[in-house]
């Protein structure tokens, strides 16, 4: 979206459960990114990266710290996040909001150059 001169990338959303608290989950996901070659000190902000794991939601919690914001602040404007998220739960609403996320897909995300592929292609 922001840096458009970059290779295509795959994006998916995973729903799961964890005993980790949000800061612990963030540390865990960042350790995975590092294991797969991510080096934040050499990246262009919002540009290409080897792996990017975002925590979109954490139950119904709303968290704002310098390190972590949940719900993820970009959810409503990114079709590449909304489409797979809505595949999991088409009626999903963000904590503390009344409008379904599907409405943001219609309002904010037209013509973003994304397309869905079959999982068998991956």
Residues with catalytic function:
38, 49, 52, 54
H/E stretch holding 70 reads strand 69-70
Cα–Cα distance, 87 to 77 (Å, whole number): 16
Tokens representing 45 are 């902000």
53 closest CA partner among 88, 12, 111: 12
């Amino acid at each position: 979206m922001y840096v458009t001169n970059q290779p295509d990338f795959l994006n998916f959303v995973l729903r799961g459960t964890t005993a980790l608290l949000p800061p612990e989950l963030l540390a865990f996901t960042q350790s995975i990114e590092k294991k797969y070659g991510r080096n934040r000190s050499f990246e262009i902000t919002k540009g290409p990266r080897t792996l990017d794991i975002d925590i979109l939601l954490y139950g119904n919690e709303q968290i704002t710290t310098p390190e972590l914001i949940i719900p993820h602040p970009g959810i409503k404007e990114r079709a590449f996040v909304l489409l797979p998220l809505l595949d999991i739960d088409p009626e999903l609403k963000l904590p503390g909001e009344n409008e379904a996320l599907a409405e943001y897909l219609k309002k904010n995300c037209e013509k973003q150059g994304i397309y869905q592929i079959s999982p068998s292609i991956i």
